[in-house]
Each structure stands twice: as C-alpha cells, then as structure tokens.
Chains A and B, each alone.
Chain A
C-alpha cells in the first residue's frame, strides 16, 4: 500500500463518529418536513386556505384528492429512499404509482358517465386549470430544496432517477398541501392538472439530478 493511502486511512480513522440507525430515513424526513413547512406557510399566507375547508373535510372530493396525492407522495418517498443508497439501481419501486392513478381514472370515468357530455369540458377544466400545475410546481420547490439538502449526506448511484423521484415526492406533497387551498372537486381535474404539476416537478428533478446530486 502506498504512503498516500496509508495517510488517508490514518486521517479518516482519527475520528469515527457513531452513525445512528435509520439515518437515511431520518435525513430524508427532515429535509422534506423543513421544505413542507415553507410550502404550507406559502399556501396559508399567499394563496389562503379555502374558506369552506371546515365543511370540505367532511366531503368525498377532499379525501379523494388527499388519498391520491398522499399515496403518490408515500410511494415516491419510498422510491427516493431506495435510490438514495448506492445499491438502489432499480426503478421497480415506482410501479405502485399505477394503483392510485388507475383508481382515480376509474372515478373519472364514473364522473363522465354521470355527467351530460356538454358539461364535460367545464368539469375537466374547472376554474383553475391554467394555474394549478404551475402552482403545484412552484410549491414543490421548497420541498425539493429540502430533499437536495438531504441528499448531500446520501449516495445515489442513478442521479437522474433519484432526482426524478425526489421531484415526484416534492410535487406530490406540495399538491397535498395545495389541497388546503384548491376548491376543485372533479376527479378528472385532479387526474389531469394535479398530475401534470407533479410530473413537471419530477421532470425538473430529472433535469437537475445529474448536476446537483453528484458526490
């Protein structure tokens, strides 16, 4: 062994701090929660909570939206945690995303069946289709930045994939918080415009991942 390597090992073993268990999960959770607090403050102060939130939480559509965004968020976080380790090379953990997407599609088809065809367009576009995806993308930024901080201690081997799942997670949780503001009720609306915002966040992550997640 050459002397440089010997020196390096000496330097690295001078101080060996204890590493706690589940430190990857903790680090990801901390980054996300810090970002989510900022997103929540933005929703409450800039956009405002929907005035009928009190009664909306007793309705179907509010929980339909939350079930969709929270399940996407949970799956994306689990995939992000896998890709945060160098051994995480598979994208298979993303397959479960199909379940909430298909369930919501089923609800959307039910809506189409129940609604006269001339109202389809109004139902699909709602009142906020033009801003919804962009708001979700913007609100995803603080959570995504929190995750970038998390990743500084982690070791992803597939940078684009890790960036994309981090963006997806940030988008899905941003959408969850955005539900506190957004009064839209249609499954088709959520399936299209929420998903589009979340996908834009994932796309942003996929573009930035190779640059920002290197180690």
Chain B
C-alpha cells in the first residue's frame, strides 16, 4: 500500500518542523516509491537501484530545505530522484533518457490514481449505502464475497446481488453521461 500525497506531505512538513518520527515515517515510505521509480528506469540493475535509493534518501534529508511547504511533495521527490538518476548515469558515462518532470509525474501516476479514486467515490456516493459498501469491499478493498458478507452481516447472495445491481446502476449512469452529484 503506497502512502498518499497528503500523507507524505504531512510527514515531510512534520520533519521540517523537527519531528523525528515524521521524518522516519517519510523516509521509510519513500523506499518502495523510489524502488519502483529507479527499477522501472534501470531494469535488472539491482545494485544500482539500491545505491540510488540510498543516495536519494540522503538527498531528501540534506536538501529538504528546498521543498516548498504547500507544494506537491511528490513533484519535489521525483525531481530529486530524477537529478540523482541523471547524476548517476553521468558518472557511469551511460546515457539515460531523462524525461521531463511532467512526464515522470504522469507516469508515476500519482495524479491519476488520486483523481481516479475521487471519481469512483463520487460515483459510489450516488448508490444506496448497501450497494456502495458491497462494491467498495469486493472491488476496491479486495475482500472476497464471503468476507464482505461477514463484515456487513448479510448473506453472500445478498452481497452478490448488491454488487450486481450497483454496478449495473453505475454503468447506466456513466453511459447516460449523467454523473451523480
């Protein structure tokens, strides 16, 4: 589970205010993000990826004063990671396709993930609470029908029917272009 932009930003701000626990939580949360970022750009180079993760954590720590509070944290993070990647390749005299920051942000999908999540929630809000919860449990959280049934104290067939009707209603809304408010 990746930490959200808001969560990362809150930890970063906490660290800037001198809270060591926030700073530690931030650095820990960055490791999987950075592993994905460097892993995608240097496929197979595990040792290099590990080096780059550590160099970037160090840079995030040393250069944290250059993060502008209130601005998106991930944009700053990927800008630092991008610089470390370019510097790494320059030292190795290897060439790297240094994409622009905008492309990186789109690729790392933060904005899309956040806005997709918001769209789904907006759509679900138009359904009955029972249907919305059933869809959330089985399709977003990833529970099995049996688990969802136990949580909601309903029968399994009840959950299945709720999911089926809910999805049908959503599909009709989306096709009709009418978005529930």
Contact = CB atoms under 8 A, between A and B. Distances in A.
B76 A86 contact: yes
Contact of B50 (A5, A23, A85): A5
A154 B64 CA distance: 9
Contact of A19 (B50, B65, B83): B65
Contacts of B31: 1, 5
B107 interface: no
A87 B15 contact: no
For the residues of A in contact with B, the DSSP-based class is loop
Interface in A153-181: 153-155, 157
A2 B58 contact: no
Contacts of B100: 89
Contacts, number: 87
B62 to A, nearest CB: 8
A13 interface: yes
B69 interface: yes
Interface residues of A, number: 29
Given A19-B17, A215-B63, 20 more contacts: A5-B50, A5-B54, A5-B57, A8-B57, A9-B24, A9-B28, A13-B23, A15-B20, A16-B19, A18-B16, A18-B17, A18-B18, A19-B16, A84-B66, A85-B67, A85-B79, A86-B80, A155-B83, A157-B83, A157-B86
